Amino acid sequence: MKNILKRNGYESGPKRGPGTWDEFLKIHAKTMWQCDFFSKKVVSKTGLRDLFAIAFLHIESRRVFISPGTYHPDEAWVLEQAEAFKQHVKKEKIPLKLLMHDRDTKFTKSFDETFASKKSEVKISAFRSPNTCAFVERFIQTVKQECLDHFVVFGRNHFDHICEQFAEHYHLERPHQSHENVVISDFKKKQKKPSMDCPTIKLTEIRCQERLGGLLKHYSKRAA
């Protein structure tokens, strides 16, 4: 019996359990999202202030939804963003069965209840478990280091414009190593591994698309 279990990848003793965290993520990645708050100091009429937003990230595809910014992330605003996110998921037809977030008190009980249904539920990370929501936290690090940290942001409209431009670049132009350097918009398509024998492309055939004053660049071959 012990050998049969081992041949099929199961532990024969007390080590056998519900599985590892990586296995859990692989099982639920298609229907699982993570969300977290992030902030940026912006210049306002009253001086420097903290502007808050929420990032929602789909584990499998890495698609992201960024809320508009606010100076007051109170319960009413958080609930408004929850409804906007639900409408976004419905419009994009991306499944939502699990939504994970940390123990930030800005995620109120009513926020969790917004997602409570037969089709979806909320999971709150355990105490002292910084890696539980690592995917969305890594995205927040990316948007800050690659974009927001390069700007002196003037107010909410400026902040929202920067985040919107980065999100479009992130989805449509920025290669993702987890997808074998495929952009998110092509993730569901069948991708062939690039040939090592690549033809030479002349500089005159390369097109550069810029966003945010040239901070974000995307290169592609000019259409014939």
DSSP for residue 97? S
Determine whether 80 is exposed, middle or buried from the number of CB atoms within 10 Å of its CB (0-12, 13-18, 19+). middle
Q: Token pair of 50, please?
A: 């903290």
- What average pLDDT does this structure show over 12-29? 72
Residue 212 lies in a domain: no
pLDDT at position 223: 75
Per-residue pLDDT band at 187 (split at 50, 70, 90) = low
Residue 181 lies in a domain: yes
> Among candidates 150, 124, 157, 125, which has minimal Cα distance to 51?
157
Whether residue 85 has pLDDT greater than 80 = yes
Residue 220 lies in a domain: no
Contacts of 78 (CB under 8 A, 6+ apart): 54, 106, 107, 108, 111
Helix residue spans in 14-133 (DSSP H): 21-28, 75-92, 109-114
Residue 144 lies in a domain: yes
Whether residue 17 has pLDDT greater than 80 = no
C-alpha–C-alpha distance, residues 177 and 194, integer Å: 14
- What average pLDDT does this structure show over 35-52? 96
Assign residue 151 the CATH number of its domain.
Answer: 3.30.420.10
Residue 224 lies in a domain: no
Whether residue 201 has pLDDT greater than 90 = no
Q: How many domains does the chain have?
A: 1
pLDDT at position 16: 54
More confident residue, 18 or 205: 205
> Among candidates 51, 39, 37, 38, which has minimal Cα distance to 155?
51
* Mean pLDDT taken over the chain: 88
Q: How many CA atoms lie within 13 A of 114 on its CB side?
A: 19
C-alpha–C-alpha distance, residues 5 and 137, integer Å: 37
pLDDT at position 195: 53
- What average pLDDT does this structure show over 195-212? 81
Whether residue 191 has pLDDT greater than 60 = no
Contacts of 117 (CB under 8 A, 6+ apart): none
User: What residues pair up with 64 in beta bridges, in sequence order?
Assistant: 57
pLDDT at position 221: 83
- What average pLDDT does this structure show over 139-163? 97
Q: Token pair of 45, please?
A: 């009429």
Whether residue 13 has pLDDT greater than 80 = no
Domain range spanning residue 25? 2-185
Q: What sign results for the dihedral spanned by CA atoms 39, 40, 44, 47?
A: positive
Residue 25 lies in a domain: yes
Beta strands in the chain (DSSP E): 32-44, 47-58, 64-66, 98-101, 121-124, 206-211, 216-221
pLDDT at position 175: 85
Residue 205 lies in a domain: no
- What average pLDDT does this structure show over 137-165? 97
Per-residue pLDDT band at 116 (split at 50, 70, 90) = confident
Residue 218 lies in a domain: no
Whether residue 30 has pLDDT greater than 60 = yes
Per-residue pLDDT band at 82 (split at 50, 70, 90) = very high
- What average pLDDT does this structure show over 34-51? 96
pLDDT at position 197: 62
pLDDT at position 89: 96
> Among candidates 64, 39, 41, which has minimal Cα distance to 52?
39
pTM to 2 decimal places? 0.84
